[in-house]
A and B are shown apart, each in its own frame.
Chain A
Amino acid sequence: MSAATVPALELDDLGVAYTVRGIDRPVLRGVTLSIGEGESYGLVGESGCGKSTAAFALMRYLPRNGKITGGTIRIAGQELMGLSEDGVRKLRATQVSMVYQNPGAALNPSLRIGEQVAEVSRLLGASATSAGERAEEMLRRVQISDPARVMRRYPHQLSGGMQQRVVIGMALAKDPTLLILDEPTTGLDATVEAEVLDLIATLRTEFGTSVLFISHNLAVIAKMCERVGILYAGRLVEEGPTRTLFDDPRHPYTVGLLRCIPKGGLRKDQHRLDTIPGFLPQLGVELPGCVFTDRCGLAREICHEHEPELHPLGGGHASRCHFHEEAQTLPRTTPPHVAAPQRESNGVPVVRAEHMAKTFRQEGHDVRALDDLSIEIRPGETLGLVGESGSGKTTFARLLLGLTEPDQGSVVELEGHPLAPRIAKRSADDVRALQIVFQNPDAALNRRFSVRRIINRALTKLVGTKGSARDTRLRELAHSVRFDVRLLGARPAQLSGGLKQRVAIARAFAGDPRVVVCDEPTSALDVSVQAAILNLLADLQRDKGVTYLFISHDLGVVRYLSDRIAVLYLGRLMEVGAAETVFNAPHHPYTEALLSAVPTVEGEERPRIRLEGEIPSAADPPSGCVFHTRCPRYLGAICEEQEPPLAEVERGHFMRCHIPVDELRRLQAEAPPPRARQPESKTTS
């Protein structure tokens, strides 16, 4: 058998176009790549550059207006072009599988999990009983602890992480040659993401499956893939072994992308992030030269006229740039240095919350979404709020803004005076002082209003300015968020994600707020846009002395922007302190686990601490320390019996843990704990 020499996937000069208004607009332009047997290949690029189109082209599942305009696709040596409908179906049933974002939507809501997984084997001719057995076995292999029970459940009864395990199990049940993963962990919590990635890595070796991993997250790619291809405007602009490519990028686009990421230790007060200017070319425009010219700081005449070849650089590394040797000298679009911020510290915290609690009534149960949270936020600082979903981050923000009423006995003060619990009861000054920027600007901005009207409304409602004064203010605001005033007449739908978020920020800043809650403001954006927004937030803070409460699941982003960080778990404050203190040992075991879950572009192999099981229900929190059920450094009975106090372990650094800080320091300097206590039974090969 010479199967080993047949690549799992070969694309040769693949072109795909969408027909829009009768004209073919190319989305993929002559993509050539190959994935060897058992290899894991990462496809990276910003949204709109054709990653998912490539995946769907491989599955022969393009939308009705999409078509393959040229080239060949071969899977396990089999040519896909010209395959009959039945042939395509067989191919999907046996050779290729795909897992995509949002597992909740990928599973049929009205079929039991068991039926959905078993369907795959049934299709290959297994009897009902043996298909059922195989499904159960498959669920066990994706490390679901009680497969028989999960088989009988419906998708909505499972958590996001579990759902994605099921989808992965379903994809691998046919033992495919090629597994396509399209942003499989986007939208999942960092801890869950880490578990899913671990699982994929394990199963890949177990099954010997080749993987095409599509992601906008360079760190995830760095962790998961042996080789990477960088896609821009439908062109593969650089390709190579992961480490080589990330350490020695040879295309200006790759260089730019890598500079956008807030990498370990970068901080807003020392270093501005670089961005990539301009936008992705419009779908279907003629690009006679290099596809990246318009945004490239190194572009010269030849780049506009001649499309560069894919220059081999040795060792499988290749770059489609005329000046690949100079790529890393790409000039920065923003100067790296930051003027030192002036921090006023007159002692009065801008926000002081004491014994803040929120209990929701849910089907007869009391759910403590937030439990006795006391915290101060200082003027001009950024307090980062981290924790898994369900930890109470958003509840805290909502209480602060007065969108949800806290329990009796909660105290919230703004600059020394108490705030009414509900926004309707707050004075105009208080409302103006506390504003929010949401994750999804699409949902936050009224799509029927022009940008001018959206910001003007905020100016009128919050500040009461009218007429020409308002006009001047509008221009100032637009200028301060670097929003082109010529676009003020546009509606949100006509703007890119980054521009929309700028509008949302301008709206929040209309009334010169004291505190702005940023709830995942960059999670829906591409890295280059994210970098620009983070820079903007940092600039605004420096200029206006505004305070941020910054909520994000991306710890790199939180670390970059935050002065202090608060870690929440099940509605309790587990740790709070200066950002660098919290990020470096000694820290709370929960923080330690969160940090270890995050992959980095540097690819440094941090020992992973696995958090076992799901986050417990807030309706029935564990006794003692709420984290004891998942704690990798569980001490003993004391953790189950007594809730540790939030104690100051170093100056300004508070922690809720029974382990003495010096002991923690010693433990965390050593190797990570062996696998935490295992409530689940696992099968590993």
Chain B
Amino acid sequence: MNSAQLLPSENLVFLLRGLYDKYGYLRYKMNKFEEYDLYAKNKDFLISDSVITFTDTNGKLLALKPDVTLSIVKNTKDSGKTVQKLYYNENVYRVSKGTHSFKEITQVGLEAIGSIDEYTVLEVISLALKSLACTGKNCILEISHLGILSDVINYAGIPQGEIEKAFRFIGEKNIHELLSFCDALGIEKTKADLLADAAKVYGSAGDVLPWIRKNLKGIADDKNIDEFEKVIKALCIEENGGAVRIDFSAVGDLRYYNGFVFKGFAEGIPESVLSGGQYDALMKNMKRKSGAIGFAVYLDALENTSTVSEYDVDVLLLYSEKSDISFIKRTADEIISNGESVLTQREKPCTVKYKRLLAEKDGEVICVENNA
């Protein structure tokens, strides 16, 4: 056991910060608290609408941050043709879906706010791809385009009040219910089938881009298709481009998101470890003229997959009241200099798991137990 070893999540934070620094993103440090009003106005943007609140000494209602993006947007100004490129490494507090209780979650992410062009979209999604690669696991980045999907939904003729429902079925890849739903709305079968086919789409750029060109040309806006194709093709020639998949079931709330949305998955982890997208609609809701795109990496999802070490410590070194303390200290230091960790105790703690048990006896160190 190497005592200097970083936990996988600590190591990942270190790698991600280095990655974002290299691309000129500036670290954005925030206060843990935010005025509750910000979340009350944008509840649907939050993963969970439960927020820990408290009243400050001046009577203001504050919240422990459940989200970072809203605070960044609130504190940045429209900046003409430039793009503010920021990243953060913060703890957020929200209800965990599994336990239904509040959890402190470490989140690393980045935001690009300003005049978002195709290059910026490509750079941010490429950084998402590189962030996944930093996990050291076999990863997949699924990418969708809400502009294209909305065009298909409009073409199918889903009424405005039913779009949310249609999005839910698409998000679940629930084709059988999507088709019955279209049938109940009296939507033409060919249009319903096309929507169902779009919801089913999942595959590499090579498989899906030709399908989009063939089936959605004239249905989705050419601008959306061209932009999507250009970014996906550029991503695919990158180092981890093989991890890109197109999946229109990766949906986001249209009140906040538009354009590209994406989610990252790492093999062996049952939930998404990265999530992001373009959120110009949120910016508009917050009275900003700028566009924005960003993503967050969920370190808590990655935490539970680290392999648990078999031992707490390499060597348990026992000494007695009669022992020469400088001899014990020297022995401990020698063990450490050999690359092992050592716990010195007068009695064997019952819960500690060790490889070797050494004990000092009459000025000598003897090996009492070897579990290695």
Is the pairing of A and B real? Answer: no
